A and B are shown apart, each in its own frame.
Chain A
Amino acid sequence: MGSVVRLLADHGPAFGEALLLTWKLTVMSFVAGFALGMVITVAQLLPLRPLRFVLTGYVEVFRNIPSVALLIFIVFALPDLNVLIDYEPSVILTLTLVGSAFTADYLRTGINTVDGGQVEAARSLGMRPMVVISSVVLPQALRSVVQPMTSLLIALMLSTSLASQVPLPGRELTALVAKIANDSAAGISAFVVAAAMYLISGLLIAWAGAALEKKVRILR
């Protein structure tokens, strides 16, 4: 316990900054990934076969590629193609791409829970397909994916640890632990502090997700 206190005295502000950076990366990639995933899901509903085909490929690729392989490709291989992206946007882009693929997958499952009869009814009332999607299908689908999206948000939060694999100017939690463990013998205490921060963040997200789920769920 004493070693943890000493560690916090030495590195307290660094841990605070690291936690904030972890949160920032998480929120930015989740919001962008969620928006992109929603666009993909809707685009996949359109009767445009070439678009569906390409988007199905997109979802499969980014669901199955290891995030760190994607990050390394973006950071180290893209400059060879004359595409230069800074380190922090690279991390966010990686997590956004992966997150959008999972979002699209979950939303599709959510859409499948909507009964076809509702769509038929809405169509026969004269609603245009896009209106049916935006005011009948999507609202119900979104309500039904709160739980998987909560898990995705936690998974993204944990995945921000891969930012430690590129020389980001700031350090997020995992990079900070790696540095402290490299420089001193305080590795275990640093790990305990970082683990506690990850755990508390995860529990907060899970709690917020459960509260939201309770509020918006549809009882069938």
Chain B
Amino acid sequence: MSRALEHILFSDLSPKAQAITRAVSVSVAAALFILALGIVYRFHAAGQLDVRLWGLFAWKTTWVFLANGLLGTLASAAAAAVIALVLGLVLLVGRLSSQRGVRWPAIAVIEFLRGVPTLLLIYVCFLALPSVGIKLSAYWMLTLPVGLSTAAVVAEMYRAGVLAVPRGQTDAARSLGLNRAQVFAHVVFPQALRYIVPALVAQLVIVVKDTTFGYVVTYGELMQNAKVLIANYRSLVPVYLVVAVLYCSVNYAISRASRRLGRPMH
């Protein structure tokens, strides 16, 4: 790989410009440090560094409770991911069908699920479905909408993967006597999957984010458990900060994994 752009941009600065850059660098660092101090002072001034507010993090029970919330988040995200992968495949097959009666409904379902906010789907499961006699558990009121809207996204990812498989592969497999279903299952789809694995893993980040809405249906995921902690200990800022750090770490780990998978294999 060639040098990064920023290195070329600033590769041949004059000694004077270099000195200025260094000076600005130092003052920026100082400004950022003062900003950080200011934030810490703000916490202190508002009494948010009080031991009373942070004390609960010294107890094991707090962490067990938060870990349970995280498990709830992951349990919902995992099931939603499975729904998305399976239903996405169904939608893909429909989308690629040569029959209009199958293709158009599949397109409609994909566009609909992609074009509507997940939160709206959750509200439908939560508020509207019970009025027509369908009652879901809190777990499914969260997992089903998240899985459905992800399925549509996954279907489009699958399709991008399938379209990226060279045509010659299909032609060759067909001329060897495989039927269309066999070509898809044994030749095209496995290769398509390889292309899109990084994007699929990256989509997991969005799934985890969407499960945050679990508190809307009072499903015990991380956000909901955080709210319970806050209600019990009145420690708003610390709990939300810790939860934000937990979410960021989980999603950062997933993003990293996706980037790793995205690197070319040798």
Which residues on A are within 8 Å of B, measured CB to CB? Answer: 44-51, 54, 60-61, 63-70, 72-73, 76-77, 80-83, 111-112, 114, 116, 119-120, 123, 129, 132-133, 137, 154, 158-162, 164-165, 173-174, 177-178, 181-182, 185, 187-188, 190-191, 194-195, 198-199, 202-203
> Is there contact, CB below 8 Å, between B5 and A82?
no
With beta carbons under 8 angstroms apart, the residue of A48, A49, A77 that contacts B237 is A77
The list of the 9 closest CB pairs from A to B, nearest first, reads A187-B128, A181-B127, A64-B251, A161-B117, A50-B29, A66-B212, A66-B209, A199-B115, A158-B117
Contact between A116 and B115 (Cβ–Cβ < 8 Å)?
no
Contact A191 B5 (CB under 8 A): no
Q: Does B89 contact A (CB under 8 A)?
A: no
Besides the contacts A54-B32, A70-B244, A198-B115, what 5 more A-B pairs have beta carbons closer than 8 Å?
A: A46-B6, A64-B255, A114-B5, A161-B118, A164-B119
Question: Which residues of chain A come closer than 8 Å to B124, judged between CB atoms?
Answer: 177, 181, 187-188, 191
Q: How far is the CB of B175 from chain A (nearest CB, A)?
A: 34
State whether B28 touches A51 (Cβ < 8 A).
yes
Chain A residues within an 8 Å CB radius of B252: 60, 64
Interface residue from B112, B208, B212 paired with A68 (Cβ < 8 Å): B212
- A69 and B247 within 8 A (CB): yes
Judge whether A82 and B9 touch: CB under 8 Å: no
B interface residue numbers (CB < 8 A to A): 2-3, 5-6, 8-13, 21, 24-25, 28-29, 32, 42-43, 45-46, 48, 111-112, 114-120, 123-124, 127-128, 131-132, 205, 208-210, 212-213, 216, 223, 236-237, 240-241, 243-244, 247-248, 251-252, 255
Offer 9 A-B interface pairs, CB within 8 angstroms, sorted by A: A51-B32, A69-B243, A81-B43, A123-B8, A164-B123, A174-B120, A177-B124, A187-B124, A195-B112
Would A112 and B5 count as touching, CB distance under 8 A?
Answer: yes
Find the residue from B48, B208, B244 having the highest chain A CB count within 10 A: B244
Set B111, B208, B244: member contacting A73, Cβ < 8 A: B244
A159 touches B117 (CB 8 A): yes
User: Which residues of chain A are near B248, meaning CB under 8 Å?
Assistant: 60-61, 64-65
